[in-house]
Amino acid sequence: MSHVSEFSESEEMVCVAARLIENTTYFIGGGMPQLAVLLAQRLYAPDLMQVYEYGVIGPRIALPFERHLELANSKFNYKACAWLNMNWTFFHASIGVLEYGMLGVNQIDQYGNINTTFIGGDWHHPQMRLSGSGGANEIASFCWRTITVMMHEQRRLVPRVDHVSSPGFLDGTPGARERAGLPKDTGPYRVVTSKGLFGFDEQTHRMKLLALLPGTTLEEVRENMQFEPLVADPLEVLPPPTSEEARLLREEIDPKRIVLGKGKMIRL
Is pLDDT at 265 greater than 70 in this prediction?
yes
148 vs 132: CA distance, rounded Å:
16
Check residue 54 and give its pLDDT: 86
CB 24 within 8 A of CB 262: no
Residue 51 belongs to some domain of the structure: yes
Residue ranges with strand state E in the chain: 6-8, 25-28, 49-52, 56-57, 82-83, 100-104, 107-109, 114-115, 118-121, 126-129, 145-150, 157-158, 188-193, 196-200, 207-212, 230-237, 265-267
Q: What is the pLDDT of residues 158-188, one digit of tens each?
A: 999 999 999 999 999 999 999 999 999 999 9
* Cross-strand pairs, 57: 51, 82
Q: What is the pLDDT of residues 214-262, one digit of tens each?
A: 999 999 999 999 999 999 999 999 999 999 999 999 999 999 998 888 8
Among the ranges given (15-29, 126-140, 141-155), the one the predictor scored with the smallest mean pLDDT = 126-140
Three-state SS at 105: coil
Over residues 20-35, the mean pLDDT reads 92
Q: What is the pLDDT of residues 38-88, one digit of tens each?
A: 999 999 999 999 999 888 999 888 888 776 655 667 777 888 898 888 898
Domain count within the chain: 1
Over residues 142-161, the mean pLDDT reads 96
Residue 1 belongs to some domain of the structure: no
Check residue 72 and give its pLDDT: 61
Catalytic residue numbers read 53
Residue 224 belongs to some domain of the structure: yes
CATH of the domain at 238: 3.40.1080.10
- Note down the domain range covering 53: 6-267
Q: pTM for the full model?
A: 0.94
Among the ranges given (75-79, 95-99, 101-105), the one the predictor scored with the smallest mean pLDDT = 75-79
Check residue 134 and give its pLDDT: 83
pLDDT band at 31 (very low <50, low <70, confident <90, very high): confident
Q: What is the mean pLDDT of the chain?
A: 93
Residue 35 belongs to some domain of the structure: yes
**Which letter does DSSP use for residue 154 in this model?**
T
